[in-house]
């Protein structure tokens, strides 16, 4: 099985071949955002993670505190089911879900998408982990990973992809989470994290599993 990074690198290269001008623009934005240290306010290892209560695809409220009573929690923020890099990441996590569960952990994926009827039909909702809706990226903001989408990318989504994020998220379409992953110990303290403003790169499932092993 290919590593997630190989899959995302292949996706990036495909994008460069098909639309080099756009990908060059993304490169420039990412470099600028890194220079501005976007993501530096993300909660750090050793800090207590904010509690939250968010709805799942069926509208049922899920509370972080209750999940922590069962063991460690892996929280991954993703942009939405329209994001190909997010889908690659979530498929990779699904493939290693048994290993994550074997270490006593719960996996939670959070995006700003609203929990409506259509969400239960897509690929993400059929995965065997918890998927939650963080409308207006309020929890992402608490975790320090809310990102104001640059106009270059917002225009690409509106014009090229015909993607209405205000409708998809039923709210603020200008803020998305930085794709980030946090591992919380049972006390709610962050023991490991991965935060990268380049939305095309993600943590490897193997890195998450190794971090969980150090907790056990």
With 80 as the cut, is the pLDDT of residue 119 above it? no
Average pLDDT of span 100-129: 78
Please give the share of the chain, as a percent, with pLDDT higher than 90: 53
Average pLDDT of span 178-206: 95
What value does the mean pLDDT of the chain take?
Answer: 88
Average pLDDT of span 113-128: 62
Higher pLDDT pick, 157 / 63: 63
Higher pLDDT pick, 204 / 170: 204
With 50 as the cut, is the pLDDT of residue 117 above it? no
pLDDT tens for 23-57 read: 888 888 888 877 666 778 999 999 999 999 999 88
What pLDDT, on a 0 to 100 scale, did the predictor assign at position 118? 41
What pLDDT, on a 0 to 100 scale, did the predictor assign at position 115? 64
DSSP letter string, 107-154:
EEEEES----GGGGGSTGGGSSSEEEE-GGGHHHHHTT-EEEPPHHHH
Average pLDDT of span 170-187: 90
Domain of residue 178 covers 4-41+49-215
Higher pLDDT pick, 40 / 140: 140
**CATH code for position 151:** 3.40.30.10
Q: Of 214, 203, 215, which is closest to residue 92 (Cα–Cα)? A: 203
What pLDDT, on a 0 to 100 scale, did the predictor assign at position 155? 85
Average pLDDT of span 80-109: 94
Domain total of the chain: 1
What pLDDT, on a 0 to 100 scale, did the predictor assign at position 127? 76
What pLDDT, on a 0 to 100 scale, did the predictor assign at position 170? 75
Model-wide pTM > 0.95: no
Average pLDDT of span 150-168: 83
């Amino acid at each position: 099985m290919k590593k997630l990074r190989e899959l995302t690198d292949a996706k990036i290269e495909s994008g460069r071949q098909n639309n080099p001008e756009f990908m060059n623009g993304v490169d420039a934005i990412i470099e600028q955002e890194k220079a501005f240290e976007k993501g530096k306010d993300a909660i750090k290892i050793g800090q207590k993670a904010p509690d939250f209560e968010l709805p799942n695809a069926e509208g049922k409220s899920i509370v972080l505190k209750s999940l922590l009573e069962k063991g460690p929690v892996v929280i991954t923020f993703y942009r939405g089911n329209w994001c190909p890099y997010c889908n690659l990441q979530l498929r990779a996590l699904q493939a290693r879900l048994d290993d994550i569960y074997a270490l006593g952990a719960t996996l939670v994926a959070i995006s700003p998408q609203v929990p409506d009827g259509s969400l239960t039909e897509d690929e993400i909702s059929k995965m065997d982990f918890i998927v939650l809706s963080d409308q207006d990226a309020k929890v992402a903001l608490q975790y320090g990973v809310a990102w104001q989408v640059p106009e270059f990318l917002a225009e690409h989504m509106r014009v090229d992809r015909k993607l209405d994020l205000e409708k998809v998220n039923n709210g603020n379409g200008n803020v998305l989470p930085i794709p980030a992953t946090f591992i919380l110990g049972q006390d709610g303290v962050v023991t490991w994290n991965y935060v990268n403003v380049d939305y095309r790169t993600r943590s490897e499932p193997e890195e998450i599993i190794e971090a969980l092993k150090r907790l056990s």
